Structure 1
Amino acid sequence: MPRGPFDSTLHFLRRPYDFVNTVCSRTGGNMFETRLLLRRTVCLRGEAAAEMFYDKARMSRDGAMPEPVRATLTGKGGVQGLDGERHLRRKEMFVSLLTQERVEALGEKFEKMWLAQLPAWTRESQVIFYEALHPILAEAVCDWAGVPLPAEERIKRTRDLVLLFDRAAALGLGHFRARRARSRSEAWLARVIKDARDRRLVPPAESALAVIAAHRDEDGALLSPRIAAVELLNVLRPTVATSVYITLLAHALHSFPDVAPTPASDRSELGRFVQEVRRFYPFFPAVAARSRKDFRWRNVRFPAGRRFLLDLHATNTDPHLWNEPEIVNPDRFRKEDFSAFALIPQGGGDVSKNHRCPGETVVLEVMERSLRMLLCEMEYRLPAQNLRIDRSRMPALPVSKIILADIRRSERSLKET
């Protein structure tokens, strides 16, 4: 198996979305070994590698994710770090929350709040789109989840939710701010969980708050208030993080007009464009696991306890898997025959059995509604700005975060209204 530099931590941090692809292209394969934070790590990309990575008989998530990520992005004790029956039981809880009806209800709340905010945007000379999305998503998902969000707390709660994903991978002060935001958010939601259990707060029975507050793990015990708060944040935080994808949607509409949908496009066309944006643009670079036993794969022996890093973006742009991956081509999704280990921006495998994100359906719903809003409900222009995607940043975003100017309600929308 090829080997990378002795320790690649700095290389990875400088180019988190390109590091694995660069080394794999140089070595001609889809796997190599290096060190990250001085720990021997096997870096992988590709469909076959993803299928192996999500083999629960070979891989464990317990203790695999670096502590800085658990301390900010995912939280400690949440579903992402569980294995076996504990993982399946906790995953069932999330899957039960995200029925098609409930996902559509969240999408409707998001769309209504966007439309309610639109008049304020029209009064501004310019709007930083990425930042403007945060309060809309935060209020929509809190309302949907049954979590009270008083007007006087909206700014600080939204800011903390954003810090959990926007500054989790930052160095120095940025990472410290994300840690503080994690502590504040868990304390806030632990109080909300206690209020729900003590009936001081009565959320709707189908809401995320009600379900998580009442959830019992495989031992029959309620989750501790802190762990329940971690899991409730695993509903709120990823939904607000969809602001990254929506911003990239706006970037794609502007950058690739020849293949972009139009106001007359049907839902299938919108869906293909959404999937291609998720494939083409970097979102979260990689996920980690460790081998639970010795095993052989591709004629290589791996010892128990070895850390593996599956590069999600490198798999989504693997030239062995995708034809002309550097080209934006929504029509590649017309056949819809890609496997559960090919398009993996939010993990691979079966949602109910593997560590694939159950909130993927929420992302698809919110992205498709956002695309329809940008195409049909509003008009705007992009003034001169820096639209380069900053690939050294996690999450990657256009440097300008997409500045919109001259925003107004579309004539078509006003007539229909």
Structure 2
Amino acid sequence: MSEFAAVDVIRTKRDGGVLSDAAIDWVVDAYTRGAVADEQMSALAMAILLRGMTPAEIARWTAAMIASGERLDLSAVTRPTVDKHSTGGVGDKITLPLTPLVAACGAAVPQLSGRGLGHTGGTLDKLESIPGWRAALSNDEFVRQLRDVGAVICAAGDQLAPADRKLYALRDVTGTVEAIPLIASSIMSKKIAEGTGALVLDVKVGTGAFMKDADMARELARTMVELGTAHGVRTVALLTDMNTPLGLAVGNAIEVQESLDVLAGGGPADVVELTLALAREMLAAAGLDTDPAQVLASGAAMDSWKAMIRAQGGDPDAPLPTARETEVLRATADGVVAGIDAMDVGLAAWRLGAGRARKEDPVSFGAGVLLKVRPGDTVRAGDVLLELRTDEAARIPAALATAGGAVRIAPDAPTAAPLLIDRIA
């Protein structure tokens, strides 16, 4: 018989108490095994959202999540290992050019990624638009590719922090996604369990991010940096702007194409800026003194990309899917683009079929939104602001209604907002 009861653990946190190490170990393990019911863990998650956790509680909760499954052994990889995690945004395709770039600079990048839900896109969905590419790798395949190619982007295995997989799904349907202790432990349990030696976090702030407030984003970043450091992972976080979509493409295949433009030496300035900023942080954390801008210009990152895609069964030279239907949104007045709301654009792409409402929903690889203007651009009435792409014409009216207010036109140019807001180490 257990010395703990779920209702007592819930009451302790509900009343503002501190959970003991033993109580945390028990409740995470029992929930993973099914001995604590979903409704009980829902109540505890809500209590954590409302009452918070001490740093010691968060550290122990994270350790218990890691202990619920296996830890990958990357000792066979001779290169220094470093990973990147983004808290998610609109048009955030940075993982795609960044992973092969950092690999081309001499590091090994074990990038375990996820699928999109709601307005934020998923890296795996984007890559699955490449014919033949597969997201699921065995642990042996993962380590072998990391050793031979230096770059892997794939789905996390079922045995990597299984407590997180179960709790994440529960948080999504119980209004507890925003709990900072649970966000931090969810992200860091998977990253620590994957065995990376260093980690760079891209914490998004703004309308298109889960964190709308810079102070909350800083709290999350500090919490995750402390967790990583406590577990022996060199960790640094950048706070970056997500009021405006990243780049010009928001979707799946169109974001892959934009990533290829960056790897070919072009691409939107903001995507290049953030890719290089994160690459510099990753290389420094890995102890490598290499200039990623030079490596990008040399074409070596594109070679690394092709090797990574081929290693996972994909054809890097195959044409990408394109949508069957297009529609445009035009400016109704002369002026200057004062802002482009990331959330509105993300929701429009979702309505076009680029995202999903439930985890089991399919996505349309060709669907999405192409921005034809950026903040600061001068426009005249009738100019195209956005191009909407979808495979189903019936999706266009709702997407147009959502995107209708995304682009704000004003008489004067806006003050340019910095992409990089803060650095926390």
Q: TM-score, normalised by structure 2?
A: 0.30
Q: Which has the higher contact order (CA 8 A, sep 6+)?
A: 1
Q: If each structure's helix is expressed as a fraction of its own residues, which one has the higher value?
A: 1
Q: If each structure's strand is expressed as a fraction of its own residues, which one has the higher value?
A: 2
